[in-house]
Structure 1
Amino acid sequence: MNKITVGFLTFNPKDFFTQSTPMKITRALFISLPLLLLACKEQAQKTTTPTVVRTNKQITLDIKEANRLSELPLGCIQNPLPYKSGVVIAKESDLAMPAVHHPAFYGCFDWHSAVHGHWSLVYLLKTFPGLAHRQEAIDKLNKNLSPENIAKEVAYFSMNPESKMFERTYGWAWLLKLQEELYTWDDPMAKTWYNNLKPLEDYISEAYMEYLPKLVYPIRTGTHSNTAFGLSFAYDYAQTVGNDALAQVIRESAIRFYQQDQDCPMGWEPSGHDFLSPCLQEMDVMRKVLAKEAFEPWAKAFLPALFDQSMDLHPGIVKDRSDGHLVHLDGLNFSRAWCLYPFKDNDLAYNLATEHLDYSLSKITDGDYAGQHWLGTFALYAFKVKKESS
Structure 2
Amino acid sequence: MNGETARRFAQAALGHVVREYPHKLDHVLGGDEDALPPRVLHPCFFGSYDWHSCVHGWWTLLTLRRLYPDMPEAAEIAALADSTFTEEKLAAELAYLDRPGSAGFERPYGWAWLLYLHLETRRHGGAPWAGRLEPLARAFAARLRRYLDKLTYPIRTGTHFNTAFALLLSREWAEVFEPELTPLIDSKASDWFAQDRACQAWEPGGDEFLSSALSEAMLMQRALGQEQFRQWFADFLPDMAQREPATLFAPVTVSDRSDGKIAHLDGLNLSRAWAWRTLQPDMGAAAPLARDAAEMHLSAALPHVTGDYMGEHWLASFALLALLARPV
2:126 counterpart residue number: 188
Contact conserved, 1:213 with 1:253, CA < 8 A, in 2?
Answer: no
1:174 counterpart residue number: 113
2:194 counterpart residue number: 259
2:155 counterpart residue number: 219
1:200 counterpart residue number: 136
- CA-CA distance at 1:137 after TM superposition: 1.4
- CA-CA distance at 1:93 after TM superposition: 2.6
Amino acid at match of 2:113: W
C-alpha distance in structure 2 between counterparts of 1:304 and 1:146, whole Å: 50
Amino acid at match of 2:154: P
2:165 counterpart residue number: 229
CA distance 1:297–1:381, shift in 2 (3 Å): same
- CA-CA distance at 1:389 after TM superposition: 4.0
C-alpha distance in structure 2 between counterparts of 1:242 and 1:202, whole Å: 9
The count of residues paired between Structure 1 and Structure 2 equals 321
1:99 to 25, 31, 39: 39
C-alpha distance in structure 1 between counterparts of 2:259 and 2:239, whole Å: 33
C-alpha distance in structure 2 between counterparts of 1:257 and 1:306, whole Å: 22
- CA-CA distance at 1:179 after TM superposition: 1.3
- CA-CA distance at 1:310 after TM superposition: 5.0
What is the TM-score normalised by the length of structure 2? 0.95
Contact conserved, 1:334 with 1:356, CA < 8 A, in 2?
Answer: yes
Contact conserved, 2:66 with 2:124, CA < 8 A, in 1?
Answer: no
RMSD between superposed Cα atoms in Å: 1.3
Q: Which string of whole-angstrom CA distances, capped at 9 and with x for unpartnered residues, describes residues 34-65 of structure 1?
A: xxxxxxxxxxxxxxxxxxxxxxxxxxx11011
User: Once the two structures are aligned, what percentage of the paired residues are identical?
Assistant: 39
1:115 counterpart residue number: 55
| Residues 1:351 and 2:292 aligned together | yes
C-alpha distance in structure 1 between counterparts of 2:38 and 2:216, whole Å: 33
Contact conserved, 2:305 with 2:319, CA < 8 A, in 1?
Answer: no
Amino acid at match of 2:193: Y
Q: Which string of whole-angstrom CA distances, capped at 9 and with x for unpartnered residues, describes residues 349-372 of structure 1?
A: 111011101111012222x21010
**Equivalent runs, 1:52-201 vs 2, <5 Å:** 61-160=1-100, 162-183=101-122, 185-189=123-127, 192-201=128-137
Amino acid at match of 2:117: L
What is the TM-score normalised by the length of structure 1? 0.80
Contact conserved, 1:318 with 1:329, CA < 8 A, in 2?
Answer: yes
1:365 counterpart residue number: 306
Q: Give 1 or 2 for the bigger CA radius of gyration.
A: 1
Contact conserved, 1:306 with 1:349, CA < 8 A, in 2?
Answer: no
- CA-CA distance at 1:260 after TM superposition: 1.0
**2:28 partner SS:** coil
Q: Which string of whole-angstrom CA distances, capped at 9 and with x for unpartnered residues, describes residues 202-261 of structure 1?
A: 10111111110100000010100000100111011112x141221121111111111111
- CA-CA distance at 1:132 after TM superposition: 2.3
Amino acid at match of 1:216: T
Unaligned runs of 5+ in 1: 1-60
C-alpha distance in structure 1 between counterparts of 2:119 and 2:242, whole Å: 35
